[in-house]
Amino acid sequence: MKKTLLALCLAAGAAVSVASADVRLKLVSTQDLFDVCVVGNAFFIGNNPSSIALVGDRLFVGGYNNTSAAADLRVVMISNIFGARGFTNLDFDPDPDNAVFTQSVPGQRNFTGMDYAQGHGLLLAWDNGGVGFPAQQRLFDIDTQFTPILLEASPAGTSAAGGGGPAWDFGFGGQGFDYNGDGSIDGPLAAIVDFRGYPGGIQNFGPFGIIPRTFSGVPGLDVINGRLYDGSMEDGNGNPIAPRIGWVASNGPDRIGDNGVSNTSKLWRDIDIHPDTGLIAARSTSILIGHRNANNSVDPFYVVDAGNQPFANMQNLQIVHGVPCGGEFIVYNDRSLGAAVIPFTSAIRATDYSASPVTLEFVDEDGNPLTLEDGNSAYDFSWDAANQRLAVSDFLNRKAYIFEFDCGSACGPCYADYNQDGGVDGQDVEAFFIDWESAQGCADTNEDGGVDGADVETFFLQWEAGGCE
């Protein structure tokens, strides 16, 4: 058996093949958003959906003002999305007796992002085009009663622009942050990325971490007075004590990824942060991946080249963590072709935490290859870890797609045909060992929960038999 294994491994090493899909996602719901994109509708979000948050059976949707003039936009909560849907506008006024359901948004600007954390609320951002305009970040309580309640809005004069993020940041190891330096942990921060001008250009270093709720007299979501970190911060020895993903010093140069790839832009567009580890994924045109350390810096650091469209809006990403099968990954949209209309599956990409590509396969409820309408690559993402669902909003077609992991069939019914090309040959051996060496879930051929030498033996028992019949 050992000689057979060695010979097969050497033969497979000379072959060129592609392993089966790393992740298989099954479409379980399509949410039609056309009506809420119609001017005059009581739940008008804008001409196209631009940001989403999936929380259980509720989908929160913000939109894009795709005109040249300012327009009053809403953010809508669609409840019971798997049944008879209900619609509720978010109230932008904290006074329950003075409901305000609209936000005047300039032409060609939008609600840019949302992020939810259980017990902490829903963060929401929209872009007025500059720093200081009030309420470009808002925080809602969506847990304690059916109708969301506004808890905080960023103050006039000290509000960051709403062009990138927001994301909840629980810090290294998910430990939270000490807001006032008294040695006790007070909670998470709201993290944003902003490419507008700040003194010294500090926005070019990386994200800002802001106290989300009013604390000890400091207003919540105040990017000046409530900022606990920015990427320029260092200790007494000049070591970073904040996530530094852009500049490495004042006026540059830019930080180069440990994989040798350079970032091409600091026009920040999006950010997401792993709730358990603190890993940071940020978006300009590139995908920037920083592994958080105990001193709040990031190392190692990787860059994924996602094309060069620095002025394209809607460049988004999402960390997909705590997955039911396979490895965790970062999903993002490829906007390198700008607004060109391309297939859905060509625009949606994924990477692991070390900047290696992750192959996604999309299927319908019957497991057949999924065909969706072509789009203009303007998508947003929301991962509902509690319910293991990924939502993807479609700007052009005014829809949102809800996916679940298809764990049962992602690895194929027969391990002998590991690459699922219909034959059993040396390419299956190579595909198996690629997954086995990285401990991918499909390499657990004996299904004991681990990837080890016993899986190699199980694989070759099927492979040498020429199949599983």
State whether 345 and 372 are in the same domain: yes
What is the chain's alpha carbon radius of gyration, rounded to the nearest angstrom? 23
- Last residue within a domain, chosen from 370, 393, 410: 410
Q: Is residue 469 part of a domain?
A: no
Q: What is the mean pLDDT of the chain?
A: 92
What local confidence, expressed as pLDDT, does residue 21 receive?
A: 60
State whether 301 and 423 are in the same domain: no
What local confidence, expressed as pLDDT, does residue 2 receive?
A: 40
Q: What is the DSSP letter of 155?
A: P
State whether 322 and 389 are in the same domain: yes
Which pLDDT tens digit goes with each residue over 308-355?
888 889 999 999 999 998 889 999 999 988 889 999 999 999 999 999
Domain holding 229: CATH number?
Answer: 2.130.10.10
- Confidence grade of residue 416 (pLDDT, cut at 50, 70, 90): confident
Which pLDDT tens digit goes with each residue over 142-169?
999 889 999 999 999 999 999 888 999 9
**In which order are the strands placed within the sheet that holds 287-292?**
270-273, 280-283, 287-292, 298-304
- Confidence grade of residue 469 (pLDDT, cut at 50, 70, 90): low
**DSSP E strand stretches across 106-226:** 111-117, 121-126, 137-141, 149-153, 167-169, 189-192, 208-210
Q: Is residue 209 part of a domain?
A: yes
Q: Is residue 72 part of a domain?
A: yes
Look at 45-49, 347-351, 447-451 and tell me which has the smallest mean pLDDT: 447-451
Q: Is residue 304 part of a domain?
A: yes
CB 239, CB 297: distance < 8 Å? yes
State whether 331 and 425 are in the same domain: no
- Last residue within a domain, chosen from 410, 425, 446: 410
Nearest-angstrom CA–CA distance, 22 and 45: 35
Residue 392 tokens read as: 């993807």
Nearest-angstrom CA–CA distance, 273 and 229: 15
State whether 145 and 184 are in the same domain: yes
What local confidence, expressed as pLDDT, does residue 174 receive?
A: 97
State whether 167 and 215 are in the same domain: yes
- Confidence grade of residue 360 (pLDDT, cut at 50, 70, 90): very high
Please determine, for residue 13, whether its predicted confidence score (pLDDT) is greater than 60: no
State whether 447 and 308 are in the same domain: no
What local confidence, expressed as pLDDT, does residue 1 receive?
A: 44
State whether 387 and 271 are in the same domain: yes
Which pLDDT tens digit goes with each residue over 90-135?
999 988 889 999 999 999 999 999 999 999 999 999 999 999 999 9
Domain encompassing residue 298: 23-410
The SS3 call for residue 289 is strand
State whether 321 and 429 are in the same domain: no
- Confidence grade of residue 17 (pLDDT, cut at 50, 70, 90): very low
State whether 308 and 425 are in the same domain: no
Nearest-angstrom CA–CA distance, 8 and 26: 34
Helix (H) or strand (E) run with residue 7 in it: helix 2-13
Q: Is residue 249 part of a domain?
A: yes
In the chain, the number of structural domains is 2
CB 326, CB 440: distance < 8 Å? yes
Q: What is the value of pTM for the model shown?
A: 0.86
CB 270, CB 283: distance < 8 Å? yes
State residue 463 phi and psi, 5-degree precision.
Answer: -65, -45
State whether 390 and 453 are in the same domain: no
Sign of CA pseudo-dihedral 34, 311, 392, 173: negative
State whether 297 and 192 are in the same domain: yes
Q: What is the DSSP letter of 442?
A: G
What local confidence, expressed as pLDDT, does residue 206 receive?
A: 96
CA distances from 40 to 44, 71, 111, 415 (A): 7, 11, 19, 55
- Confidence grade of residue 288 (pLDDT, cut at 50, 70, 90): very high
Tell me the mean pLDDT in the region 39-65. 98
Q: Is residue 62 part of a domain?
A: yes
